[in-house]
């Protein structure tokens, strides 16, 4: 079946602009995760959604970052007033539940000039 999809695959933006990244999880997956991975670094947790529970936003690095999820489907990650240090691959994953195996999307490569 269809896996996790993300769009756009690549995004180049200018410093100070806002960007919106999209994630379509696997159908029926209640848990959705966003991670950031800078070049040569490990995965950095950003935010986690589980069903109708309040999301865990503890990983968001600043108030410029926000994310929403519509029910148990699409999620968008918004970065306002982008900075060069925001350049990274943003990865989305989903799983059947909070203890399930997570499948990842291919990521969105963000470059802030």
Partner 1 sequence: RKEVEQDPGPFNVPEGATVAFNCTYSNSASQSFFWYRQDCRKEPKLLMSVYSSGNEDGRFTAQLNRASQYISLLIRDSKLSDSATYLCVVNGGGNYGGSQGNLIFGKGTKLSVKP
Stretch that binds partner 1, among 13-21, 30-38, 64-72, 78-86 (CB under 8 A): 30-38
Q: Does 91 bind partner 1 (CB under 8 A)?
A: yes
Element (H, E) at 102: none
Q: Tell me the two tokens of residue 83.
A: 């900075």
| CB of residue 43 to partner 1, shortest distance in Å | 4
What residues contact residue 31 under an 8 Å CB cut-off, 6+ apart?
48, 49, 50, 51, 94, 95, 96, 97, 98, 100, 102
87 is a contact residue toward partner 1 (CB under 8 A):
no
Q: Does 112 bind partner 1 (CB under 8 A)?
A: no
2 binds partner 1 (CB under 8 A): no
Residue 16 binds partner 1 (CB under 8 A)? no
**# of chain residues touching partner 1 (CB under 8 A):** 28
Which residues touch 20 (CB under 8 Å, ≥6 apart)?
A: 76, 77, 78
Backbone phi, psi, residue 55, to 5°: -65, 150
Q: Which residues bind partner 1 (CB under 8 A)?
A: 31, 33, 35, 41-43, 45, 48, 50-51, 53-54, 56, 58, 91, 93, 95, 97-107
């Amino acid at each position: 079946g269809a896996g996790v999809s993300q769009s756009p695959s690549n995004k180049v933006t200018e410093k100070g602009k806002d960007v919106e990244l999209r994630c379509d999880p696997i159908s029926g997956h209640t848990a959705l995760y966003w991670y950031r991975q800078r070049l040569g670094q490990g995965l950095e947790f950003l935010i986690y959604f589980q069903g109708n529970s309040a999301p865990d936003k503890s990983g968001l690095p600043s108030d410029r970052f926000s994310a929403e999820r519509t029910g148990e489907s699409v999620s968008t990650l918004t970065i306002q007033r982008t900075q060069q240090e925001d350049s990274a691959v943003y990865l989305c994953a989903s799983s059947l539940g909070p203890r399930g195996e997570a499948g990842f999307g291919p990521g969105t490569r963000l470059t802030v000039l």
